A and B are shown apart, each in its own frame.
Chain A
């Protein structure tokens, strides 16, 4: 028994290329092709394919919105989202919309078939070639960015050193140290030392503090 696939993309040549790729694998059977969301969604309801391959941008709407609607109606349908857009936002949007897989259009057609295979087996999981990198990029801190010198000053502040002690430790003038401190306050949106240190901990800029009050 082969898996039924429906292709939704507004470009004939893309659909043609993908449909041939699916025909090359005996475990798939392309049951329909659509160039618009309206047509595609109608076909989904009529044919109930096991896997839908859908483009992010279609002439009559967003493939991601359609993915959300399809997922709401059917928890067990495999949904492969295709895109020409770059950027992690697309990948995470597909994940949040309930897609089973995400494949950029620069990948070979075999990747689309492999993604569809995964989607048919476990529609409620998510796979994407770039997933690990995207997760790493997402976990990098995006909060306030301090210059290396400011980080040093922040660490000394967190140790409880006063302005003159910080200046002596870093071999800088007191007024320079004060400038660094006021910059740090600005960046962290803090009005005093305690607030600055709390924001810095929250933003992951410093780990340990020994507060000497």
Chain B
């Protein structure tokens, strides 16, 4: 027996044993029916009775499984042995008990069970037979004995193989299966799980249905705030805020809503369509048309978007899970560096301090000091890595605050003058997107700090969701040899790709390098855009502000 108990559950074991008994009894019964004589039927009935008895005993746990299996072997052998003379076919049933014994007690059980059967059958039949008849009988019996041994070994093997865990871990098994499926989906459909791409499909669908001139997809984020995910190229509908009447109406009634806007300059109809998964609102499509849209038309569009909505919701949840998992992993890494290598290198530094103090040769002291400086630099780098790994975008403080914190800590430590310029609207990007942008900024700033030898660093960030631009420029010695294959650059590109942004790395005019990130998740669903509505919208908004200003 193996040291680690790999037994199948008793339940499963009993089920297999019952199956074997049913098989045995029915096989013998079929043969008995072919023979059509009373003793055969009686023998079958006795075997069936034994099978039922053994099954009941197992289920009620009257005896240990092994003991039941062995008793079964003995009794079956008695029945078979006493009928063997007239009905050789009943021998078939002898295959069953070794199998059951194998299930319960492994190879040892099988061996005992087979031996028991052979002895009992021999004792019941052999003494009455002549030597010739006996050898003849043996020839008939030998294949059955071998088959019994084989089935017993099969039972023992099944017992080892089929390790069924206890019932309470069933939940884990189904979770494991679902996660496995998710992994497959994520691998094969990584493009299919891109929220922006799916939202763009929704816009295309919307245009086909109602022929709008500008549209935007807003999705609900943590805290119940709607943020724009994607919009038409050139469209300025992202300015539609959470407090827009049509958005509010749509959100509260969970039904399509319409309003007329831009009355004096050009009548426009603004339509808001709920994106729902079941009864849950996950977002809203806001579109602007030159004419009104019938309720029926809206209803058709609404129901035709249900599949896209489900896909969008899945993609958003997946994105969130991925971001959470990554954040966890970063914290774990930070802890590992903090508790491991960083402390070890720091303690080596202390050891070198001691060597410097103990050294009497000036030359040796100088080289030890150089070593100490290197170690100090190394520990500083590790501290900054830990800081990098630990810095996160907070839901409350906003992206600008996170970037400012990071730039101040890291940029100013490097001896570079840092020029930070932020231009944010009150509206936020999704946290998942902000996180990727922060990581790209970190990587670019770290590159500038380590390799550029620059004296100035310009960090510029502007966001107008769903658009954003980030630029990190320095006046160092430029890109030099192309490092496009470098690990850091590759990671930056991957991050940019994940959020559907474009990343450009080039030499800066007047020396140095510049990393520019542009996030513009606009659809290009129509080359010619009617910008009238958009211009009217903007004018409208400014007038409101100026009205306030003149008051």
Contact = CB atoms under 8 A, between A and B. Distances in A.
Interface of A: 11, 13-14, 16-18, 20-21, 24, 57, 84-88, 104-110, 133, 137, 140, 142, 145-148, 150, 163, 175, 178-179, 181-183, 185-187, 189, 191-193
Contact of B353 (A86, A110, A133, A145): A110
Nearest to A141: B404
B383 interface: yes
Contacts of A105: 342-343, 346, 379, 383
A150 B423 CA distance: 10
A28 to B, nearest CB: 14
B354 A106 contact: no
B46 interface: no
9 closest residue pairs by CB, A with B: A17-B350, A13-B347, A106-B379, A145-B422, A86-B383, A86-B387, A178-B542, A182-B545, A109-B353
A34 B372 CA distance: 26
A137 B412 CA distance: 9
A13 B344 contact: yes
Contact of B383 (A104, A179, A192): A104
B343 A182 contact: no
A84 B338 contact: yes
Contacts of A87: 387, 409
Interface of B: 338-339, 342-344, 346-351, 353-354, 357, 372, 376, 379-380, 382-384, 386-387, 390, 400-401, 404, 408-409, 412-413, 420-426, 462, 538-539, 541-542, 545-546, 548-549, 551
Nearest to A140: B408
Contacts of A147: 421, 423, 462
Contacts of B412: 133, 137
Given A86-B409, A106-B380, A109-B354, A182 B421 contact: no
A186 B425 contact: yes
Nearest to A11: B343
A14 B350 contact: yes
A179 B541 CA distance: 9
Given A86-B409, A108-B353, A193 B549 contact: yes
A179 B542 contact: yes
A17 B355 CA distance: 11
A85 B423 contact: no
Given A84-B338, A145-B421, A182 B408 contact: no
B403 to A, nearest CB: 10
Contacts of B424: 145, 187
B404 A142 contact: yes
B346 A20 contact: no
Given A182-B541, A192-B551, A85 B338 contact: yes
B471 to A, nearest CB: 13
Given A24-B357, A191-B548, A193-B549, A84 B409 contact: no
Q: Per DSSP, are chain B's interface residues mostly helix, strand or loop, or mixed? A: helix
21 contacts: A11-B343, A11-B344, A11-B347, A13-B344, A20-B350, A21-B353, A21-B357, A84-B343, A85-B383, A85-B386, A88-B408, A105-B346, A105-B379, A109-B350, A109-B354, A110-B353, A148-B421, A175-B539, A178-B545, A181-B549, A186-B425
Given A84-B338, A145-B400, 17 more contacts: A11-B343, A16-B347, A17-B354, A18-B350, A21-B350, A24-B354, A24-B357, A57-B339, A84-B342, A84-B386, A85-B390, A147-B421, A150-B423, A178-B546, A179-B538, A183-B425, A187-B426
A170 to B, nearest CB: 16
A185 B104 CA distance: 80
A198 to B, nearest CB: 14
A206 B64 CA distance: 90
Contacts of A150: 423
Contacts of B343: 11, 13-14, 84, 105
A17 B383 contact: no
Contacts of B541: 182
B454 to A, nearest CB: 19
B372 A108 contact: yes
Contacts of B538: 175, 179
A75 to B, nearest CB: 30
A175 B536 CA distance: 12
A78 B338 CA distance: 25
A14 B344 CA distance: 8
A110 to B, nearest CB: 6
B352 to A, nearest CB: 9
Contacts of A110: 353
A1 B354 CA distance: 24
Given A175-B542, A185-B545, A17 B353 contact: yes
Contacts of A21: 350, 353-354, 357
Nearest to A56: B338
B457 to A, nearest CB: 15
B372 A106 contact: no
Contacts of A86: 380, 383-384, 386-387, 409, 413
Residue among B357, B400, B408, B549 with most chain A CB within 10 A: B549
Contact of A163 (B386, B423, B546): B546
A35 to B, nearest CB: 12
Given A105-B342, A185-B545, A17 B351 contact: yes
Nearest to B539: A175
Nearest to B369: A108
A192 B379 contact: no
Contacts of B344: 11, 13
Nearest to B352: A108
Contacts of B539: 175
Contact of B387 (A85, A137, A182, A191): A85
Contacts of A148: 421
Contact of B354 (A11, A20, A107): A20
Nearest to A57: B338
Given A20-B350, A106-B349, A142-B401, A137 B383 contact: no
A179 to B, nearest CB: 7
A145 B423 contact: yes
Nearest to A19: B350
A106 B422 contact: no
Given A14-B346, A192-B551, A108 B376 contact: yes
A192 B549 CA distance: 5
